[in-house]
Structure 1
């Protein structure tokens, strides 16, 4: 096979790969809309696209999550330049937060950031996320924290964001919201689902006016191990993290005639 054929084959694979990522990401936006994890036209979910350049896809600023489709996602580079010729507008804070992680983490192909009421409530609490509920126990020791510096438009914050996240896949942005990342859309979604549910249960439990009943460290360690190695993979070693859950949600979108693939 000559170099020209190799190059053409590689380009074709990148195009096919990008189309897949576009559909996966558009579905992610629709799923978040279904769960109410939206902030009108704000917040973001991003995906790296195949290829040597660190290009990633983000929602077009001004669209509601239920309006996002595979074709209207915007491709930008790590400097915030739109590289798909669309001239579409993107949100600056979304670029700052997501580009920081895409630049630093080879495994963070998908990143989701939310401002849910429960997520921001826990982010404002001194103690942060409690491990002492069914969902919190699954995340014991796995959650990173990043201190609030104001609206994330200062590119110098990217280095501190990356340092705060380290090698973790769950992060609470203090006074701000939640963030999760993953090698696939399924993994990033499942992690955000765990984090969001942990916050919801914590907030509702504390509304009863009593502290959460504590779990032992041994139980917490066991729960984390069970969740990360078995539960999130559908108790199937061949499945990827969150795969079964995400596929079920996409089937639901398709059955309802969702336009996310357009």
Structure 2
């Protein structure tokens, strides 16, 4: 996960509550930032859709938005902390489909600490394209051999669907949930968010290009493989510098997400 230089640096971002580790507080700040960024980019759906974060040091626990909150109302302190092994619904304060999806993904992928799911109109339209993601743009190439597809089964309320979602995601970075929307996963909040930003761009670009009816140029497989590896290296290195920039955007809008 994104870790501060020191506990003191975390405390400067917001007082760490008693009984909570600095690492968990930082994870809360990062996840609250994801929710606020989703709202800033116009991807939110009133109180629906979700992002989640594994709790540092408690691998079977995760954080997510309380059901009734708008994305712009999410803060570090009001995130719900739940066990992925329980069977929860709105009576416990969290959305049942969101809890089912995110708990299942995090349980199946110990390498993933953050997941982001959304269903914008473009994302839902794109998810219904039988041929799926085409290598038509640089954002698309990020997902070369790193994206899965999951057939629509209705609202994600049945724990039995978790296994199928995990199988279709595999060890990939993203999942197209057919006739539903998009999911991205990452080691950090930054990774999950940036991947969603690029997947949304790739979907939008593809939809626009295919609507022209013109002959399109597909990026060759060898170039796709090379570029996807370049993106992997980028995300492990200099790409991490963009997350503080996103945080500065939020601080300029409303730093209340840190509280």
TM score, norm. by length of structure 1: 0.86
1:225: how far off?
A: 2.0
Task: Supply the distance in 2 between the matched residues of 1:18 and 1:51 (Cα, whole angstroms).
Answer: 8
| Aligned equivalents of 1:22, 1:188: Cα separation in 2 | 15
CA distance in 2, matches of 1:257, 1:192: 22
Q: Which residue of 2 aligns with 1:201?
A: 205
- Cα 1:122/1:211, change in 2 over 3 Å: farther
Is the Cα–Cα contact under 8 Å of residues 137 and 205 in structure 2 kept in the other structure? Answer: yes
The equivalent residue for 1:78 is 84
Deviations 1:12-66 (A, max 9, x none): 8962211111100001100111111111110000001123451111101121111
Partner of 1:5: none
Which string of whole-angstrom CA distances, capped at 9 and with x for unpartnered residues, describes residues 174-226 of structure 1? Answer: 11111011111011111111111100111111222234322222222222122
Q: 1:15 aligns with which of 10, 17, 21?
A: 21
Q: How does 1:19-168 map to 2 (within 5 A)?
A: 19-52=25-58, 54-80=60-86, 89-168=93-172
Change in Cα spacing, 1:125 to 1:17, as seen in structure 2 (3 Å) is same
- Is the 1:48–1:110 Cα contact (8 Å) retained in structure 2? yes
1:256 to 249, 253, 257: 253
**Gap change, CA 1:212 and 1:154, over 3 Å in 2:** same
- Asked whether the 8 Å contact 1:190–1:245 carries over to 2, the reply is no
- The 2-side partners of 1:91 and 1:142 are apart by 28
Contact 2:143/2:173, CA 8 A, preserved across alignment: no
Whether 1:247 and 2:251 are equivalent positions in the alignment is no
Question: RMSD of the alignment, in Å?
Answer: 1.9
Alignment of 1:164-243 (within 5 A): 164-230=168-234, 232-233=235-236, 237=237, 239=238, 242-243=239-240
Q: Which segments of 5 or more consecutive residues in structure 1 lack a partner in the other structure?
A: 1-11
